[in-house]
């Protein structure tokens, strides 16, 4: 993409990198429009720095923008295209009734404890590995889990940026 491309082109391409949080791509373009000239993966650092520089309330809103894993949105088919692809690649759309029941229980337990959904970069993982990770992370303290959730959000963004490069 050339710097001659518009902000709307940039937003169409990168606005969905962070789940329902196009403000990150918007600020990234405003901060340095020349970033549009490089590879998508080159946006990972600048975008993550934007997230890390905002107040905790904005970070919490970013975390809350993520869907539950194997949750109601997935079952109803209303996830973003990126989330649908990521969750199905991990087999979350093929859960047994018992696995789905455990995801539902863990989603509720986790949200009650932490105030945001469980977030994990699921690409390349199997649903049983995800369940195991989920069970363990429910035992974390709030501060540690907030940090881990942000780390996972950055990992998801990095994977999405890499996919944009791979598709180019």
Closest CA to 87 of 63, 122, 118, 137: 122
The catalytic residue among 5, 20, 66, 126 is: 66
Rounded distance between C-alpha atoms, residue 159 and residue 15, angstroms: 14
The verdict on whether 66 is a catalytic residue reads yes
Closest CA to 50 of 14, 82, 86: 14
Rounded distance between C-alpha atoms, residue 36 and residue 84, angstroms: 26
Q: Which two tokens stand for residue 112?
A: 């009650």
As a whole number of Å, the CA-based R_g of the chain is: 16
Closest CA to 33 of 25, 41, 23: 25
Rounded distance between C-alpha atoms, residue 102 and residue 31, angstroms: 43
Active-site residue set: 66
């Amino acid at each position: 993409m050339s710097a001659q491309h518009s902000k709307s082109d940039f937003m169409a391409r990168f606005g969905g990198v962070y789940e329902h949080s196009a403000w990150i791509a918007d600020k990234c373009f405003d901060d340095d429009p020349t970033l549009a000239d490089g590879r998508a993966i080159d946006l990972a650092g600048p975008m993550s720095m934007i997230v890390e520089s905002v107040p905790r309330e904005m970070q919490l809103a970013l975390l809350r923008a993520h869907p539950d894993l194997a949750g109601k949105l997935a079952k109803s088919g209303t996830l973003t295209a990126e989330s649908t692809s990521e969750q199905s690649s991990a087999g979350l759309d093929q859960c047994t009734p018992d696995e789905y029941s455990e995801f539902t229980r863990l989603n509720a337990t986790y949200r009650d404890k932490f105030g945001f959904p469980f977030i994990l970069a699921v690409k390349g993982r199997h649903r049983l590995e995800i369940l195991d990770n989920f069970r363990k992370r429910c035992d974390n303290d709030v501060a540690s889990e907030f940090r881990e959730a942000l780390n996972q959000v950055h990992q998801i963004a990095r994977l999405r940026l890499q996919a944009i490069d791979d598709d180019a």
